[in-house]
């Protein structure tokens, strides 16, 4: 099932074209069309299996619409989408996990979204450590969100609780105590 979850993440965040589907402007895919397209491309899943992937995902990567007919990735898109998330006042401090080898670039340029639409920020250090460890020796940075918001930087919170912003200038970064 992890293999199916990773493939579903790829499709719903970055490459719906791999199976010949289109996401709407908010990133939604019709579940019936998605399941048929997966089957045509040798990745057959039942509705029950899809639901198991969605609800077993400990990172809550996927959101199913309230009527149960559509699915989308909660965040992490490289596609230009409007998730329809309203700006919110963030907590005073959020966290960003990264690899030690990225620190020079981060403190020179700030946190940039790279190939994704937004910079992702965690509400706690534990989550940030997990994220940072995917890229090498983990380091957790603090983000002074109160100061950023006071300067007009916008924040939104994805369906899964991950905080998103367009970029974090280096002057708002520090190191989390570990």
- Do 98 and 171 lie in one domain? The reply is yes
Other CB atoms within a 10 A radius of the CB of residue 77 amount to 22
Per the domain annotation, does 39 fall within a domain? yes
Residue 30, beta-bridge partner list: 70
The pLDDT > 70 percentage for the chain reads 99
Going by pLDDT thresholds of 50, 70 and 90, the confidence category of residue 135 is confident
Inform me whether the pLDDT recorded for 2 exceeds 90: no
Per the domain annotation, does 25 fall within a domain? yes
Going by pLDDT thresholds of 50, 70 and 90, the confidence category of residue 1 is low
Classify residue 147 as exposed, middle or buried by CB count within 10 Å of its CB (0-12, 13-18, 19+): middle
Longest CA pairwise span in the chain (Å)? 50
Residue 95 and residue 107: Cα distance in Å, rounded? 15
- CATH number at 38 reads 1.10.10.970
- Render pLDDT for 97-130 as a digit per residue (tens, 0 to 9): 999 999 999 999 999 999 999 999 999 999 999 9
Provide the residue range defining the domain that includes 105.
Answer: 93-175
């Amino acid at each position: 099932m992890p293999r199916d979850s990773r493939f579903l993440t790829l499709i719903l965040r970055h490459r719906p074209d791999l199976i010949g589907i289109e996401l709407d402007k908010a990133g939604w895919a019709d579940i019936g069309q998605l399941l048929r397209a997966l089957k045509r491309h040798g990745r057959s899943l039942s509705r029950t299996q899809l639901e198991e992937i969605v609800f077993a995902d400990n990172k809550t990567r996927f959101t199913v619409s309230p009527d149960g007919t559509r699915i989308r990735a909660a965040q992490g898109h490289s596609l230009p989408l409007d998730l329809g998330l309203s700006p919110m006042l963030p907590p005073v401090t959020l966290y960003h996990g990264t690899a030690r080898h990225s620190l020079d670039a981060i403190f020179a340029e700030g946190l940039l979204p790279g190939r994704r639409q937004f910079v992702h920020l965690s509400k706690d250090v534990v989550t940030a450590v997990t994220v940072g460890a995917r890229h090498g020796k983990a380091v957790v940075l603090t983000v002074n969100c109160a100061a950023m918001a006071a300067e007009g930087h916008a924040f939104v919170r994805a369906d899964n609780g991950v905080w998103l912003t367009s970029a974090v200038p280096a002057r708002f970064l520090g190191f989390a105590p570990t």
